[in-house]
Amino acid sequence: MATKKNNRQKQQATIRIVVMAAIVVCINVLASWFHGGVDLTHEKRFTLTEPTKKLLRTMPEVAVIDVYLKGKFPAGLQRMQEAVKERLRSFKEIGGSHIIFRFTDPFEGKTDKEKKQIAHDLETKGVKMMELSNEDDDEYSMKPFFPYALVQYNGREMPIYLLDAPPGRGSVEQISYAEAMLEYKFANAINQLGKPTRPSIAYLTGHGEPLGVKTYDMLSTLPAIYDLDSLDLPHSLDISLVYDAIIINQPTMPFSGPDKLKIDQYIMRGGHVLWVVNALNASLDSLANAPQFIAIEHPLELDDILFKYGVRVNFDLVEDMQCNPLPRVMNNGRPQLHDWVYFPRLNPTSEHPIVKNMDLVMAGFTNTIDTIRSEGISKTILLHTSKYSRAARSPVRVSLSMMSYPLKHEMFTKSYLPVAVLLEGDFHSVYENRLAPEYLRLLDSLKMPFVSKCAKPNSMIVTSIGEAFSNGYTAKDGVLPIGYYPFSGEYFANKAFLFNCLEYLTDHSGVLEARSKDVKLRLLDKGRVKPEKTMWQAVNVGIPVALVLVFASAYLFFRKKKYETKNVSTQNPSANA
């Protein structure tokens, strides 16, 4: 009888083990199919934004994403690899079968000849090979890897550089920034590839706008995303709505009435404008042959049209204690860097997606901007000066001798002077109720009725940042990138500001919101690391072990009590009777 009892207990134990194993296998299978989590971060870094969710839910086709960051890497790249996998899983949760992603190593199992051809083919698609130092057994070697993803959608493809981060930061900060930008990068790629046509932009000319070497970087990189055209405004009958936006970049000659009418009616019909307007004629080139110059007003004749839309670019020059240096030759014949208050370093503090999480923007000779009360128009300050700044009214004497005197805080009494403003709302024409007969005849000849007000809310961006989107040039290095300051060797976010402005004006999907997530680094408090090290090690190691022991003890206690009760009942049948 005891033998039968033992056999029955063994069978029950075996069944329990099999059932538990089956449950574990099922849970793991389900976990591989269904991915979920709870975002406990304060800034909700791991939660997709609503525009991204909407984009993924409405995808008409399948997006295939090849991630080439596969293999064993140092901790930072390994963390990035896991972050990409986690982000794409969250995309698949929303997009379902319309999102397919895979991690591949292009060189895995390939010969040297095949690797060379693969690297060449990927480079033609914008996926570039990089090398990573590898130290193993006292041997030093370089390991090739591809920190890229390739998104294929709607019959087109777009590469994504996964480690893209502002220079000048530490490696941990760069990885953290790149990780936070993953949602925006993948969502933006799907959004751009899903459009039947690319947005079209016109660069206006005819009023002294810079062309040539100073705009080479801008005019050569914009075509990667936009259909870019140049438009000679004085010789054009109108500005066609085929252009989603136009760029008016640093004009130096006055705008005639007919030219302003063309811009005004383009805006009234729904066109968007990125204005870069400098009210004073000031340039560093003026100091090449003389130690000083007088900055005088540009006769642009744009005051009335900008005033009507809600802003005024002032005839002054910004002077800021937070500024870039300028080299000056000393008595010993050697150049030495000194603070140059006319070149402010603008720190974006706005929560708006255009500038949030963006690095410093470099400014040349810059004017302040006043916002004007305009019914139905909202104004958002995108960029402003630092807490210690001021503005010198025109005419302004700009002299290198200013670098000889120390900067004092009490001399800079103005704070946060606006230099870039976003205008949104129902714009009214500057010619409303005062359209001249000759302008009316011009519109009639074009068979275009005069529009006095925008049919729906519109937007434009006005900035007075000097040389905002111009690039430098040296005989040694050639064309320099937008935002690179050769005197200090620093990179600024001017190009990012340009692309963000144009994306906001031409793309109304809201995907840009995804790039405004915070990238806060929660580092250890070094003052508490040493004295509390042992305690936190004990907590991290001891509490999990203690919990296991508590649950095991409880299980054994209740199991023992259960079987003791059964044995007592079996040994004393009279008690049951």
Q: How far is CA 97 from CA 56, 61, 511, 566, in A?
A: 11, 10, 21, 54
Name residue 178's amino acid. Answer: A
* Cα gap 3→9, rounded to integer Å: 10
Instruction: Using pLDDT thresholds of 50, 70 and 90, give the confidence band for residue 332.
Output: low
Instruction: Using pLDDT thresholds of 50, 70 and 90, give the confidence band for residue 356.
Output: confident
Does position 493 have pLDDT exceeding 80, yes or no?
A: yes
Instruction: Using pLDDT thresholds of 50, 70 and 90, give the confidence band for residue 230.
Output: very high
Instruction: Using pLDDT thresholds of 50, 70 and 90, give the confidence band for residue 133.
Output: confident
This prediction has a pTM of: 0.80
Domain limits, the chain: 50-192, 198-516
Q: Which residue shows structure tokens 């295939």? A: 64
* Cα gap 172→190, rounded to integer Å: 28
Give pLDDT, residue 374.
87
Question: Residue 312 corresponds to which tokens in the numbers above?
Answer: 């005024």
Most confident of 122-131, 213-222, 406-415, 515-524: 213-222
Least confident of 41-45, 280-284, 331-335, 435-439: 41-45
Question: Residue 3 corresponds to which tokens in the numbers above?
Answer: 């033998």
Does position 520 have pLDDT exceeding 60, yes or no?
A: no
Instruction: Using pLDDT thresholds of 50, 70 and 90, give the confidence band for residue 519.
Output: low
Sorted by sequence, the CB contacts under 8 Å of residue 542 that are 6+ apart come out as: none
* Cα gap 357→351, rounded to integer Å: 8
* Average pLDDT of span 255-280: 96
Tens digits of residue pLDDT in 73-120: 888 889 999 999 999 999 999 999 999 999 999 988 888 899 899 999
Give pLDDT, residue 577.
47
Show the beta-strand stretches assigned E in 308-388: 311-313, 316-320, 323-329, 335-346, 361-362, 369-371, 377-384
Does position 369 have pLDDT exceeding 60, yes or no?
A: yes
* Average pLDDT of span 384-412: 90
Count of residues in the chain: 577
* Average pLDDT of span 201-223: 95
Tens digits of residue pLDDT in 448-487: 899 999 999 999 999 999 899 999 988 888 999 999 999 8
Q: What is the 3-state secondary structure (H, E, C) of 428-478?
A: ECCCCCCCCHHHHHHHHHCCCCCCCECCCCEEEEEECCCCCCCCCEECCCE
* Average pLDDT of span 400-424: 90
- The sign of the dihedral angle between the CA atoms of 248, 253, 254, 260 is negative
Fold of 50-192: Glutaredoxin (3.40.30)
| Dihedral of the alpha carbons of 183, 193, 500, 373, in degrees to the nearest 10 | -110
The candidate with the shortest Cα–Cα distance to 51, out of 380, 502, 515, is 515
For the chain, what percent of residues have pLDDT higher than 70?
84
Does position 56 have pLDDT exceeding 90, yes or no?
A: yes
Does position 525 have pLDDT exceeding 60, yes or no?
A: no
Sorted by sequence, the CB contacts under 8 Å of residue 85 that are 6+ apart come out as: 67, 103
* Average pLDDT of span 143-167: 89
The three-state secondary structure class of 104 is coil
Shared fold status for 50-192 and 198-516: no
Instruction: Using pLDDT thresholds of 50, 70 and 90, give the confidence band for residue 32.
Output: low
* Average pLDDT of span 174-198: 90
CATH architecture of 198-516: 3-Layer(aba) Sandwich (3.40)
Q: Is 193 left (phi over 0), alpha (psi -120 to 50) or beta?
A: alpha
CB 382 within 8 A of CB 343: no
On average, the pLDDT of the chain sits at: 86
